[in-house]
Amino acid sequence: MRFLTAVHQGREADACAQIPAQQRSGLARLSAARGGSSSCEAALHTLPEFAPVRAHAPLVITHDIGFRSALPHRAKEALDKVSVRGRPFGAVGLRRFGNAWRVAIVCDCP
């Protein structure tokens, strides 16, 4: 959640550096399509989707992790639904590699 913390603290360049280039350019295109600046940093600073994270109130992030197996310790994949201050923000797909979990997919879940 370093990405969300960086956005919350106004460190958009640091947040953009944490996501893959394809996502950075996608955010830039989205910002430009909505009449904003065509940069990842501008997108994080202005897009309404990130407003819950930019708010001046303390950042409160909750997780609801669902495993794709009846037994979490045997699961190879999981979906982490992320909420910010009780409002759904998105989801992070996780995939197990050995004993470590890695981000596999990030999706918007309104």
Q: Are residues 42 and 9 in the same domain?
A: yes
| Residues spanned by the domain of 19 | 2-54
Which pLDDT value is given to residue 11? 93
Helices in 1-110 by DSSP H: which ranges? 2-8, 12-17, 21-33, 40-46, 51-54
Per residue in 7-66, pLDDT (tens digit) is 999 999 999 998 888 889 999 999 999 999 999 999 999 988 888 888 888 888 787 887
The tens digit of pLDDT for each residue in 52-99 reads 888 888 888 787 887 776 666 777 788 888 888 878 887 878 888 888
Question: Could you tell me the pTM of the whole model?
Answer: 0.69
Distances (CA, A) of 19 to 14, 56, 98: 9, 23, 23
Q: For residue 109, is pLDDT > 60?
A: no
77 with 93, same domain: the answer is yes
Q: Which residue has the tokens 């990130």?
A: 50
Question: Where residue 101 falls among pLDDT bands split at 50, 70, 90?
Answer: confident
pLDDT of residue 28: 93
The answer on 12 and 34 residing in a single domain is: yes
Write down the pLDDT at residue 110.
47
Query: In this predicted structure, what is the pLDDT of residue 29?
Result: 93
DSSP 58: P
- Judgement on whether residues 76 and 37 belong to the same structural domain of the protein: no
Specify the residue for token string 């106004």.
10
